[in-house]
Amino acid sequence: MNDMTPEKKQRSSLAKWSRRGFIGAGVLAGGGLLIGIGVRPGNPIAALAPKVAPGDDEFLVNSWVKIDMDNVVTAIVPHCEMGQGVHSVLAQMLAEELDADWSKVRVMQAPTDGSYVVTDTARMFVAPFTINAADWLEPTWNGLFTQIAKFADAMITGGSSSIRTTGQHSMRIAGAAARKMLVGAAAESWNVPPGEIVTRDSMLLHPASGKSAPYSAFATAAADQPMDQTPQLKTADRYNLIGKSKARTDIPSKVNGTAQFGLDAAPEGVELKYAASMRAPVPGTEVVSMDSEQAEALPGVIKVLNMGNFVTVVADSYWHAQQALYTVQVEWSASESPVKTMDDQYKVFADALDKAGADGGDKMAGKGDFATAFANAATTLEAEYRVPYLAHAPMEPINCTAQVKDGKCDIWTSTQVPLMARSAVSDALDLSVDDITIHHPYLGGAFGRRLEAEYVTMAARIAENVGEPVKLIWSREEDTQKAIYRPADLSRLRAGFDDTGAMVAWDNSFTQRLDPADAPVPAFYSIPNTSVRHVAAEAHLPSAAWRSVDHSQQGYFIESFIDEAAHAAGKDPVEYRLAMLDNAPRHKAVLEKVAEMSNWSGERAEGTGLGVAIVESFGSIIAEVVEVDMSEGSPRIVRCWAACDAGYVVNPDGFKNQIEGGIVYGLTAAMFGELELSDGAIVQSNFHDYKMLRMNDAPEIEVAIINSGDVPIGGAGEPGLPPAAPALTNAIFAATGNRLRSLPIAKQFA
């Protein structure tokens, strides 16, 4: 049900639909209804329409929806599909408001020529207060952020944002507007009041007269209908598709092998060359000299290139390129970094925290008077936690195919940021962005790794040098040892308690900060005096977003220390948390639910323990309980329960899959995830020493969903991860009395 074949040269793209944006016009092309929601009245939608229909039998929309004469609805989706099911769920949200027949809904990846941007995603990250602006202000905000999004190349998939921005504020509006146009056209034709027409399964029905017609019958006439700027959206009690576990549209092609990933994609009718590359083993170093004589003599080798910050071999196959690369002798410049081992790195962090002292650093959040409350506390608790660098390790190898010809460049790659990748290539090759085309296939996993574009510019530079189309593929070793990482970090936490054990003061100081800003703040707990401080310290390895970003570290820091506080006060960890959630009813309900699911207060077998953690991230509240068996001296994860409140879940089965995936990813990191350093270079190289949680290690997972009602929709791809590590280490403490303040876990029981 997906068209994910390499796109022909796109002949158009379209402006972003906004949540309550001015609806421009409906136009016709080849008998298909083109629904366009523009930034402002008079948006030239008719001029754009021919550019998105490369054939007479194609009736593509220059916005999010197309209805063709076969009564097929096509949702054009600006976010990438990387296994999270976003294409299907966005189409489901559009189809809900359109009352479309789900069996006839299709999905198309939006073209990446710069006119598709995710305005509402930009708004959520930059100025979330504008999302629910008054109707009269909405066109102003939308116009402003459309321009900001275009300027920032904001066609991005990340931050668990797709459903809660584009889905909730664009797809639903688009579907509702299209439905109203179709009803209006049928009402005029049948000479009946629009209110008497019913829509169902892509059909228009007038029960009083018995008349009926498919949407396609009124595609032409609907274009003449006025377009409601703020169509009425359905309430939850009227949902037919939202809230149902509908089959994903991308699965059939992935099962039958026709789905195209970046590794599959290539220009048609040309013989590809392949490149294997070697980057500097220590960040900040460059090539001093290179001996490639042996490599150049090997079969299939076409060229060996010294590109300054990397070396590459181009050959007639990837195997020949990689094998030849192993023989290239490279001398790299000396590193100026004092960090040679992870002990050195943690010392840099600790020294920075020592220098900052009790109140130094950048104050990120706070309330009350922490210093006074801590000084006057009946008892206090202090602890230091640390986490290592982590690799993303997506299953599809990092890859990019590039063709540079006649002053133009075509790119085929798996990326979360196609427009940013286009701009990066523009800078690297000194070409106009208008001369660069990004072809955007499926992604075989990303976890934030494909938010970066360095591999794209590498491929473009190689192709330019060789003068032929080249597919660059990174080996697993290259991606593990020379990429961009989840930062290591060190956190120092302090808490003060009154004479009943209630927490009255909280301080968290740490050294590494990405996003989101709320990650290190225990905002939902009722702690009267808090302080959160970022103390900048140099990191040896480059860092980037990693699944759940700073929540992955801070969830572990915060929920581990809350657990320590509970035990220090002699309280049950669940009851202790509940006592601090009187002002957070949704959080309280989630925690109570997971306690019920796990039989928290029940009898446990000797040598086993339960641990709990609750984290709100990306708009979703997730509480998890992990059961661990320590009877054989090392941790065996038995079960995990998760209770989740994401506001309202669009596709329950898909949501549960994402939570389960986040839990497994989080438990993998907690148990095994670690990148060690030797002389400044990463030691781990592949899955034999950068281990994953295998099926026989994975716990049985149970997920419960709480739809709490009229609140903003939360994310799914990332929120399942942050509670996993603290729930596991808290369970180990419950079973053994051993508090683990550093990760990974497995090496501490080796």
Per residue in 277-334, pLDDT (tens digit) is 999 999 999 999 999 999 999 999 999 999 999 999 999 999 999 999 999 999 999 9
pLDDT at 597: 98
* 146 pLDDT above the threshold of 70: no
For residue 544, is it within any domain? Answer: yes
Query: 411 has which bridge partners?
Result: 402, 438
- Residue range of the domain that includes 57: 11-246
pTM higher than 0.75 = yes
Domain shared by 539 and 595, yes or no: yes
DSSP state of 281: S
Domain boundary among 447, 481, 515: 481
* 110 pLDDT above the threshold of 60: yes
* 136 pLDDT above the threshold of 50: no
* 646 pLDDT above the threshold of 80: yes
* 181 pLDDT above the threshold of 80: yes
Give the CATH number, domain containing residue 707: 3.30.365.10
Domain shared by 322 and 178, yes or no: no
pLDDT at 132: 56
Local confidence band at 131 (pLDDT 50, 70, 90 cut-offs)? low
Domain shared by 34 and 166, yes or no: yes
Domain shared by 600 and 460, yes or no: no
Domain shared by 471 and 536, yes or no: no
Buried residues in 666-686 as b, exposed as e (16+ CB within 10 A): bbbbbbbbbbebeebbbbbee
For residue 6, is it within any domain? Answer: no
For residue 310, is it within any domain? Answer: yes
Q: What is the mean pLDDT of the chain?
A: 89
Domain shared by 590 and 732, yes or no: yes
How many structural domains comprise the chain?
3
For residue 258, is it within any domain? Answer: no
Exposed/middle/buried for residue 367 (C-beta within 10 Å: 0-12, 13-18, 19+): middle
Domain boundary among 481, 497, 527: 481
For residue 256, is it within any domain? Answer: no
Domain shared by 516 and 380, yes or no: yes
Domain shared by 445 and 578, yes or no: no
Domain shared by 156 and 298, yes or no: no
* 397 pLDDT above the threshold of 60: yes
Phi and psi, residue 670, nearest 5°: -65, -40
The order of strands in the sheet holding 2-3 is 2-3, 105-109, 73-77, 65-67, 32-36, 25-29
What CA–CA distance (Å, rounded) separates 557 from 533?
14
For residue 455, is it within any domain? Answer: yes
Candidate from 11-25, 125-139, 606-620 with smallest mean pLDDT: 11-25
pLDDT at 55: 47
Local confidence band at 65 (pLDDT 50, 70, 90 cut-offs)? confident
For residue 1, is it within any domain? Answer: no
What CA–CA distance (Å, rounded) separates 474 from 468?
19
For residue 342, is it within any domain? Answer: no
Q: Mind listing the pLDDT tens digit for each residue in 711-746?
A: 899 999 999 999 999 999 999 999 999 999 999 999
Mean pLDDT across 175-191: 92
Q: Mind listing the pLDDT tens digit for each residue in 541-591?
A: 999 999 999 999 999 999 999 999 999 999 999 999 999 999 999 999 999
What CA–CA distance (Å, rounded) separates 173 from 616?
28
Local confidence band at 123 (pLDDT 50, 70, 90 cut-offs)? low
What CA–CA distance (Å, rounded) separates 165 from 601?
39
Domain shared by 513 and 470, yes or no: no
Token pair in block for residue 692 = 């994953």
Domain shared by 48 and 99, yes or no: yes
Local confidence band at 676 (pLDDT 50, 70, 90 cut-offs)? very high
Domain boundary among 481, 516, 541: 481
Q: Mind listing the pLDDT tens digit for each residue in 372-392?
A: 999 999 999 999 999 999 999
Q: Using an 8 Å Cβ cutoff, are 59 and 66 in contact?
A: yes
Mean pLDDT across 78-107: 95
Domain shared by 183 and 148, yes or no: yes
